[in-house]
Amino acid sequence: MKQQAFEAAHTDTWRRLEALLTALEDRRTPGRDVPVQGLAQWLRAVSNHYALARARGYSPGLVAHLHALVRRGHRQLYRPQRRWPQLALHFATAGFPRAIRRHAGLFWLACALFFGPMLAMGLACHADPTLIHSLLDGAQVAEYETMYDPANTRPGRAPARQADDDLMMFGFYVWNNVGLALRTFAWGLLAGAGSGFVLVMNGLVIGAVAGHLTQLGFGTPFWTFVSGHSALELTGIAVAGTAGLLLGGALLAPGRHGRPAALRLRAAEAVPLVLGAMALLALAAMVEAFWSASAGVPPGVKYGVGATAWVLVVAYLLLAGRGGADSAQARHGGA
């Protein structure tokens, strides 16, 4: 093969590898996200091209260029990896919020499926005290009423768990919250309909309980209890739903990939969302166990902490990890 035909056949691969290496070598924006999935594949191809160029006696300029690409590629492929604390910090400060922003459309859809029914059912149950029985049986309604009765010295805790200390309740809340996140995500395999159903049903139940207790006169114990951890917990559920909808999208609209390949790709994209949702829900469990049920704190303080938590969560999702990485992700098609 003549050198001109060789270059025409492989220039695109060389350019892709060079662009990726330039992005990996750019450390002006710390912690920037770079799509590295093609590095090993492209490096193997260019290494083969370099060997062929030398064997065929192509121009020294081309051989030197390919040699330089191969050397740069090996430096990046075998460079020391960051330790897990650094990875965790980067994920918390940049990787997770960027993952949500990459899938903002699905996130807003998950929020609509979750918060919309919650608000509608809350208003309906506040207007009609009997409506909650269409979702919950009498024993469940009675348990919620006992939990948030103003006479209850440990609001938010079921009668069977009144004797549990805060640490035990923390473990219980983590188990319950993380399990909910994983179920919400996994049900996305039903073409997204499963995750949508879980979001809607949880929204309906939460709204029904909130509306019923408020009209019953138990609003202060209920709202002071949930205000502190609601931003973390409700956002975490919505993010888990986003991950499930992402799986469903791979099955409904695989695009140029086959469904199995699309599902693998979307599952990889969903992992940061699931991990972030679990982290939010674990933090919510901590607040719920050690702060929400605390006695002696004035309602105004609890409402203030809750409002501050919502502001911080929204600011974190909108602003954390902003900068050059967001625009780089946009150029790479959200990779």
Using CA atoms, how far residue 314 sits from 121, 231, 232, in Å, is 24, 9, 10
Residues 68 and 195 in one domain: no
| Confidence check: pLDDT of 329 > 60 | no
Tell me whether residue 112 is exposed, middle or buried, using C-beta atoms within 10 angstroms of its C-beta: 0 to 12, 13 to 18, 19 or more. Answer: middle
| Dihedral sign, Cα of residue 113, residue 293, residue 173, residue 89 | positive
The mean pLDDT of the chain is 86
**pLDDT grade for 258, boundaries at 50, 70 and 90:** confident
Over residues 196-207, the mean pLDDT reads: 95
- Asked if residue 316 and residue 287 are part of one domain, the reply reads yes
**Domain check: are 118 and 96 in the same one?**
yes
Domain count, the chain: 2
pLDDT in tens, 206-249: 999 999 999 999 999 999 999 999 999 999 999 999 999 998 98
Give the residue, 267 or 80, on which the prediction is more confident.
Answer: 267
Choosing from 55, 80, 105, the residue where a domain stops is 80
**Are both 70 and 151 inside the same structural domain?**
no
Each residue's pLDDT tens digit, 9-35: 999 889 888 888 888 777 544 444 555
pLDDT: which is higher, 61 or 167? 61
Q: What is the pLDDT of residue 166?
A: 77
Q: Based on the domain organization, do 178 and 147 belong to the same domain?
A: yes
Task: Indicate whether 324 pLDDT > 90.
Answer: no
CA 216 to chain centroid, in Å, comes to: 36
Which of 32, 56, 313, 91 lies closest to 66, judged by CA?
A: 56
Across 259-273, average pLDDT:
87
Residues 157 and 271 in one domain: yes
What pLDDT sits at residue 261? Answer: 84
Query: Looking at the structure, do residues 231 and 185 belong to the same domain, yes or no?
Result: yes
Mark whether 106 and 46 lie in a shared domain: no
61-75, 148-162, 203-217: range with lowest mean pLDDT: 148-162
Instruction: Give yes or no: residues 174 and 52 share one domain.
Output: no
- More confident of the two residues 44 and 79: 44
The pLDDT of residue 89 is 87
What does the pLDDT average to over 66-85? 80
- Do 158 and 230 belong together in one domain? yes
Question: Confidence band (pLDDT; 50, 70, 90) for 308?
Answer: very high
Where does a domain end: 26, 48, 80? 80
**Burial class of 291 by CB neighbour count within 10 A (0 to 12, 13 to 18, 19+):** middle
pLDDT for the residue 66: 92
Given a contact cutoff of 8 angstroms between Cβ atoms, the answer to whether 216 and 291 are in contact is no
Record the pTM: 0.72
- 272 with 311, same domain? yes
Structural domain range at position 48: 3-80
Evaluate if residue 80 carries a pLDDT over 80: no
What is the C-alpha separation between 138 and 161, in angstroms, rounded? Answer: 19
DSSP 184-215: HHHGGGTTTHHHHHHHHHHHHHHHHHHHHHHH
Q: Is the pLDDT of residue 173 over 60?
A: yes
Residue 169: pLDDT band by 50, 70, 90 thresholds?
confident
> Is the model more confident about 294 or about 233?
233
Top-confidence residue, 231 or 43: 231
Reply yes or no on whether the pLDDT at 129 is more than 60: yes
Minimum mean pLDDT range among 94-108, 174-188, 227-241: 174-188
Pick from 299, 150, 139: which is nearest to 216 by CA?
A: 150
For residue 273, pLDDT beyond 50 = yes
Task: State which of 46, 80, 114 marks the end of a domain.
Answer: 80
What pLDDT is recorded for position 34?
52
Say whether both 61 and 92 belong to one domain.
Answer: no
